[in-house]
Structure 1
Amino acid sequence: MAHRLQLALVTASRKVKDVHQFFDHLVNIINIVVSSSKRNDELQHAQAEQVENMIASNEIETRRGANQIVTLQRARDTSVIAFCEQHEIDIPDMNARYTKGRGRYRHQDEDLTMEHHFRICIFTVAIDFQLQEFRFCELTTELVILSSALISKDAFRLFNIVHICNLVKKYYPQDFTEHKQELLESQLQHYELDVIKHPDFQNMSTIFELCRGLKISGKSNIYFLIDRIIRLVLTLLVSTATTERAFLAMKLLKTRLHNRMEDEFLADNMIVYIEKEIVGNFTIEMIMDEFYSMKNRRQA
């Protein structure tokens, strides 16, 4: 989720023209740096030396932990102004009049200040786009809340017929017709009196255990619609895990040494990496035979 959240934030922010230009310039700088391994190593070496000098001059503090040798903890009495002065970065006067560019613009606002431009025109607008992008998080939250009504933990404390019916109606309308939705509500009423009160189901804490318990007891045949929605909810974990594996594979495959890899070639490599179990069933001879048959088909 962290990867998708980061991508959503960046995508939403880039809808603002100034932020979009910033990321374009940043991408160009990164591509220039990582295109040369020597240049990249020199930059990392220079950064390490700078950190060592800052530690030696007590500009930053360090601490030692169990999983790291030295970790930056916090800057000591530094500020944005001091940072800009040290690196010879121009500090804009936030009360000065903001000018869109060189020359005179016909629609230039005479009362527009630098602070208003950065705070309102860029920062606030970017936040608005991000909040709009966060709508998917609201849907995800609602989906989790409604799905929790199926959890058998704490003797089915969260069980709620209304929530389950709303879950089916809103997120799985293609899997349940109107007639099946009515039948599901009827099954849930009997399920509440039968399964929830049954001692064999009191110690189950996960949906997976509940699904297995219904199958073993044969009650999955009686409450077949409830069994269906439980299995659909279980697939949410698989889809989330698959997405996370895809982002991990992308990070491992498209390194700074392979930063110019085309999207199609990257996608093919990711499929091979993610589906290792399936790929393991193919031998080199099988692949060679497949390419040989493709050659014969083309000649024919």
Structure 2
Amino acid sequence: MDINGFIQEHFFGLVHVSDTAALTLKEAIYSALAHYNLDVQNIRGQGYDGASNMRDEFNGLQALIIKDCKSAYYVHRLQLALVAATKNVTPIHQFFDRLTFIVNIIGSSCKRNDELKDTHADDIAYLIAINELETGRGLNQIGTLQRAVDTRWSSHLRSLKGLIKMFSASCTVLLKIMDDGLPSQRADATTVYDEMTSFDFVFILHLMKEIMGITDILCQTLQSKSQDIINAMELVLSTKNLLQQMRDNKWDDLLVKVKSFCELRNIDIPDFNAPYINKRGRGRAHQDNFTIEHHYRIDLFYASIDSQLQEINGCFSDDAMELFILSNALNPQNAAESFRVVDICKLVEKFYTQDFTRDEKEQLEMQLKHYEYNVVKGSNYKNLSTISELCQWLVKTNKSVTYNLIFRVIVLVLTLPVSTATSERSFST
């Protein structure tokens, strides 16, 4: 923080390391800090991507630094973590590769896109004629397949929904390519068609649509330019609860939906009581003794949901959520609802106790009472929208001296990055 209350970020340099082990990275960071005479004990925040060598709670880089400095609070940058976490399940990763291939083949030319739209229109007309679809304004619009883009969370959900909606039309287009396409196109179309009309593909298609339907609102909120921390944390809790409810109660519903989808399109449904044969890795004689139902329920359904829950719990621990919520009490936006003296005192007592002496903590409470009366209720305060703007305004009006302890809390809070889609955003934006 400079003398005018503006946040200043500095790039120290690029350091070569012999390996990416957490201990090696820690030593490199400490060396860089020492070069600029910066004390490790003054670290108040650290943020990394989702790699295991960074975030592991026991041996990751963040854990090693926290051992040396308890106030170096770790905030994981969510980015595309929820999508990436699901792809840690190998069949899911393979599914998204196939999904991209399908969209590329069908959307490779204007001719194929036109065929897709015409076929989809015919399908809609047929389903309406047999009373399988509702009619009304905005319903049953003709679209095209959406390509999933790794830098846009919602594109994955749109891609899944689009393929489910136009599944039959997509199959028809693939069959046409198999009949009249170039030799290479026919081979690709045949491979894709066989994979797409398998129970395995349809199951994962519906599974991921349900999971990403739950996580999409949270993802959208974390990408927004202006974040309401309280609402974001509420969405974290509701997302975790909904995923857990899906894990506990929605297996049967999903299976019914997938089987019904397959029956309407003449896709073979396996016998769920039959032994599961893993086609890769181990010989037939060394297969584990479990059923096809076990494979879909444990290896896919549970594993995919658990990967999401694990990622969210890792990104938003109980301490991290409490830190954000208490810090929001300083946010001048909606101050009438968010400013709470008790929350700011609790924030200092729990998270920044070493930055204040016992006497200063008592003085802070009294400063906050004056601050609430003289600053928060003032007309100028209502024009501020972020903690960063508040910091600058306090310096400009010399109130940073009058309320020096509150100003210290604000500076500490501004060291915290928020888990958002880009690394440039901070808690203040």
**Which TM-score band (shorter chain)?**
0.5 to 0.7
CA contact (8 A) 1:154 1:202 kept: no
Q: Which structure is higher in helix share?
A: 1
**Residue aligning to 1:148:** 328
Deviation at 1:216, TM superposition (A): 6.5
CA contact (8 A) 1:12 1:133 kept: yes
CA contact (8 A) 1:150 1:207 kept: no
CA contact (8 A) 1:149 1:160 kept: yes
**Residue aligning to 1:92:** 270
**Residue aligning to 1:132:** 310
Deviation at 1:119, TM superposition (A): 0.4
Show CA shifts across 1:169-226 (max 9, x none). Answer: 39xxxxxxx4x44486355223223212338626766863882774575322222453
Q: Is 1:208 matched up with 2:388?
A: no
Are the structure 2 counterparts of residues 5 and 87 from structure 1 closer, same or farther at C-alpha, using a change threshold of 3 Å? Answer: farther
Aligned AA (1:118)? Y
CA contact (8 A) 1:155 1:196 kept: no
Deviation at 1:54, TM superposition (A): 1.4
Show CA shifts across 1:236-264 (max 9, x none). Answer: 8998586799xxxxxxxxxxxxxxxxxxx
**Residue aligning to 1:117:** 295
Larger-gyration structure (1/2):
1
Aligned AA (1:163)? K
**Residue aligning to 1:294:** none
Q: Is 1:227 matched up with 2:407?
A: yes
**Residue aligning to 2:343:** 160
CA contact (8 A) 1:99 1:108 kept: yes
2:268 match: secondary structure? coil
Partner of residue 101 from structure 1, selected from 259, 279, 295: 279
Show CA shifts across 1:107-166 (max 9, x none). Answer: 2123x1111111012211222222111121336633431213324324834642443316
Deviation at 1:17, TM superposition (A): 1.9
**Residue aligning to 1:218:** 398
Deviates more, 1:113-122 or 1:223-232: 223-232
Aligned AA (2:287)? Q
Number of residue pairs aligned between Structure 1 and Structure 2: 226
CA contact (8 A) 2:82 2:308 kept: yes
**Residue aligning to 2:181:** none
**Residue aligning to 1:190:** 366
Are the structure 2 counterparts of residues 207 and 108 from structure 1 closer, same or farther at C-alpha, using a change threshold of 3 Å? Answer: farther
Partner of residue 91 from structure 2, selected from 9, 13, 18: 18
Are the structure 2 counterparts of residues 119 and 5 from structure 1 closer, same or farther at C-alpha, using a change threshold of 3 Å? Answer: farther
Aligned AA (1:145)? I
- Unaligned ranges ≥5, structure 2: 1-76, 143-164, 166-255
Deviates more, 1:81-90 or 1:202-211: 202-211
Separation in structure 2 between the aligned mates of residue 53 and residue 190 of structure 1, nearest angstrom: 73
Aligned AA (1:107)? H
Deviation at 1:105, TM superposition (A): 2.4
**Residue aligning to 2:157:** none
CA contact (8 A) 1:93 1:114 kept: yes
Aligned AA (1:156)? F
CA contact (8 A) 2:259 2:269 kept: yes
Deviates more, 1:84-93 or 1:205-214: 205-214
Are the structure 2 counterparts of residues 195 and 26 from structure 1 closer, same or farther at C-alpha, using a change threshold of 3 Å? Answer: same
Are the structure 2 counterparts of residues 120 and 237 from structure 1 closer, same or farther at C-alpha, using a change threshold of 3 Å? Answer: closer
CA contact (8 A) 1:14 1:20 kept: yes
Aligned AA (1:222)? T
Aligned AA (1:108)? Q
CA contact (8 A) 2:79 2:422 kept: no
Higher relative contact order (CA 8 A, sep 6+): 2
Separation in structure 2 between the aligned mates of residue 128 and residue 107 of structure 1, nearest angstrom: 27
- Unaligned ranges ≥5, structure 1: 171-177, 246-300
Aligned AA (2:366)? H
Separation in structure 1 between the aligned mates of residue 85 and residue 283 of structure 2, nearest angstrom: 31
Separation in structure 2 between the aligned mates of residue 96 and residue 18 of structure 1, nearest angstrom: 20
TM-score (norm 1): 0.58
Are the structure 2 counterparts of residues 115 and 6 from structure 1 closer, same or farther at C-alpha, using a change threshold of 3 Å? Answer: farther
Are the structure 2 counterparts of residues 44 and 227 from structure 1 closer, same or farther at C-alpha, using a change threshold of 3 Å? Answer: farther
Counterparts in 2 of 1:264-275, with a 5 A limit?
none
Deviation at 1:62, TM superposition (A): 3.0
Separation in structure 2 between the aligned mates of residue 30 and residue 190 of structure 1, nearest angstrom: 62
**% identical aligned pairs:** 42
CA contact (8 A) 1:168 1:181 kept: no
2:80 match: secondary structure? helix
TM-score (norm 2): 0.43
**Residue aligning to 1:7:** 80
Are the structure 2 counterparts of residues 26 and 159 from structure 1 closer, same or farther at C-alpha, using a change threshold of 3 Å? Answer: same
Separation in structure 2 between the aligned mates of residue 235 and residue 55 of structure 1, nearest angstrom: 57
CA RMSD in angstroms comes to 4.2
Aligned AA (1:227)? F
